[in-house]
Structure 1
Amino acid sequence: MIEFKLEGEFIPLIQLLKATNLVLTGGEAQAVVNDGHVLYNGTIDYRKRLKVRRGDVITFHKKQIIVI
């Protein structure tokens, strides 16, 4: 489990995946979202510009990111 401390109101999903080092590039992040490999609060989500906020849980390759 990864705890990510949010500094502002939200972070775009693509940036969150990069910030937590689960992907190396924005292109790779977009690809994993497009392919349905990312769960947003337990549901597959295909939105690249999804605004992730405090309390949200992102799951990617059996790793959870909890936004605090």
Structure 2
Amino acid sequence: MDTIEFELRGDHIALDALLKATGLAPSGGSARQLIVAGEVRVDGQVELRKTAKMRAGQLVQLGDAQVRIAAAGY
């Protein structure tokens, strides 16, 4: 499984924006479609909220890729 380390610039990022920023989705619209379809997991649970706030320490999974979210400066 590929792991992407993502460093926050603030205290959170919306889930759809995270998928776009990491390249797991080519656009915000496609990111929202993946989320609504139940293909995205946050900390092992399916997440259906498109703009759920992702914070440092969380793990987002989509297919064989996962994103580990880190606080700014770490």
Amino acid in the other structure paired with 1:28: S
Runs of 4+ residues over 4 Å off in structure 1: none
TM-score computed with the length of structure 2 as normaliser: 0.90
The answer to whether structure 1 residue 12 and structure 2 residue 14 are counterparts is yes
**How far apart are residue 27 of structure 1 and its match?**
0.7
**How far apart are residue 49 of structure 1 and its match?**
1.1
Q: What's 2:32 paired with?
A: 30
Segments of structure 2 that go 5 or more residues without pairing to the other structure are none
TM-score computed with the length of structure 1 as normaliser: 0.98
Secondary structure of 1:4 counterpart:
strand
Q: Percent identity?
A: 37
Let me know the Cα RMSD of the aligned residues: 0.5
Segments of structure 1 that go 5 or more residues without pairing to the other structure are none
Q: Which has the larger radius of gyration?
A: 2
